[in-house]
Amino acid sequence: MAFSIAAAAALACFPFATLRANRIVPGTGHSLTTALPPGFVWPVAASVLACIAASVFARGDRLRLAAAAGALLLLLVSVGAAPDHLLGPEPARYARVSPASGFWVALGALSLLLTNALTRLRPPPLVRIAILVAACILLTGLFLSDWFHGLSVFREYDTRAESFWREARHHLVLVLGSLAAACVFGIPLGILCHRVAPLREPILGTLDVVQTIPAIALFGLLIAPLAYLAAHVPGAAAVGLGGIGTAPAFVALFLYSLLPMTANTVAGLAGVPPEADDAARGAGMTARQRLLQVGLPLAFPVILAGIRIVLVQNVGLATVAALIGGGGLGVFVFQGIGQTAADLVLLGALPTVALAFGCAILLDALIDLSRRGRSMTP
């Protein structure tokens, strides 16, 4: 109920959209009733009131879920109507319309309400994946329909479409590349720590120290040694190694990823039931066979949880790579900060948040599927 009331209070008390003369000057806030045509105001208000009623009177979570989903969809659709309503048939060339605090608070509150209802319902993993795919298709359809393109953040996109997709691809390369490297090195390191107990504390302690270093500081610490290698190792500069750019960003993300991967591998192997290992030993399996055919499959859900941590963590940390020329969606975030252009910041921040959120949902579902498969294994 608190989320529904927060959404209603935000729409009633805070501006819904901001009209600015250009992309950087302060603008004028407009309430829900003045920012939207009447045909959108009342459905949005009614949907939020329906959420409050469902929170108070509905006994089942399905009705709450339906009310939250409907209100969220109406809110998203309605904000696309604000530019035409505020700018009129002949808009000024540089005028911009952006969602204001009322929209963002209501969006966050309704999203939390939707998430809470889904958590209570506990849908099966495949259903959660299907919901995620349906949401992606719906948002992609709205994006391709040009419904939102009157908003300032999409006008920023229109002028930077080519560079946006280039940096988005680079962002994914940094995230997935560092994740793959962490799996290649972290899982064997975790196996080593599990089998050789005296090495466990020093290795995990060292990785824990690396994890505590702030991202900006770690990027800075890597500049000097990587620049030295590029200058003195033949061929290093030719393959892209250098003090600034992708190399230090990749190395930093890799170092941050090692602790979750190694620690989760150790925890997963430690959680393998002794009975399973004894049965495999009794069947005549070698140590290698027991590891590959018994230990790692049973530890896989915990290892997959480590992959989830690394993936979500690196999606966010990769934005900081732009500060040292590493590219990625952080380019737009820091350009926007430098130009005091909030919508340019959003152009980099919104895809990053959506990507992290989607990765978390997908990996959570895969972890549940792997655990169910493990429980069904005789």
Asked whether residue 84 falls in the same domain as residue 178, the answer is: no
In the chain, what percentage of residues exceed pLDDT 90?
A: 23
* Same domain, residue pair 169 and 261: yes
Q: In this structure, what is the dihedral angle of CA atoms 278, 284, 285, 290, given to the nearest 10 degrees?
A: 0
User: Given this model, what pLDDT does residue 95 score?
Assistant: 84
| 100 belongs to a structural domain | yes
Same domain, 371 and 245: yes
Q: Does residue 309 lie within any of the structural domains?
A: yes
Report the number of distinct structural domains present in the chain.
2
- What average pLDDT score do residues 355-377 get? 80
Query: Between β-strands 28-30 and 96-99, what pairing exists: parallel, antiparallel or unpaired?
Result: unpaired
Two tokens, residue 193: 């720590």
Q: Is residue 134 part of a domain?
A: no
Lowest mean pLDDT among 46-55, 105-114, 164-173, 198-207: 46-55
In the chain, the amino acid numbered 123 is: P
pTM of the model: 0.86
pLDDT in tens, 182-226: 999 999 999 999 888 888 899 999 999 888 888 878 877 877 777
pLDDT greater at residue 52 or residue 35: 35
Residues 6+ apart with CB under 8 A from 203: 189, 192, 193, 262
Cα(176)–Cα(168) distance, rounded to whole angstroms? 12
Which of 61-75, 121-135, 217-231 comes out lowest in average pLDDT?
A: 217-231
The radius of gyration computed from the CA coordinates of the chain, to the nearest angstrom, equals 25
Is the same domain home to 180 and 103?
no
Q: Which domain holds residue 189?
A: 161-376
If you count them, how many residues does the chain have? 378
Q: Which of 91, 122, 153 is the last residue of a domain?
A: 122
| Structure tokens belonging to residue 352 | 């990053």
Same domain flag for 167 and 88: no
25, 33 contact by CB (below 8 A):
no
Residues 6+ away with beta carbon under 8 Å from 51:
3, 4, 7, 64, 67, 68, 71, 110, 113
pLDDT band at 375 (very low <50, low <70, confident <90, very high): low
Burial of residue 352 (number of CB atoms within 10 Å: 0-12, 13-18, 19+): buried
The CA distance from 170 to 254, in Å, is: 15
Residues 174 and 318 in one domain: yes
- 221 and 302 housed in the same domain: yes
Last residue within a domain, chosen from 65, 96, 122? 122
pLDDT above 90 for 89: no
Q: Look at residue 17 and give its three-state secondary structure.
A: strand
Is the torsion defined by CA of 88, 94, 99, 102 positive or negative?
Answer: negative
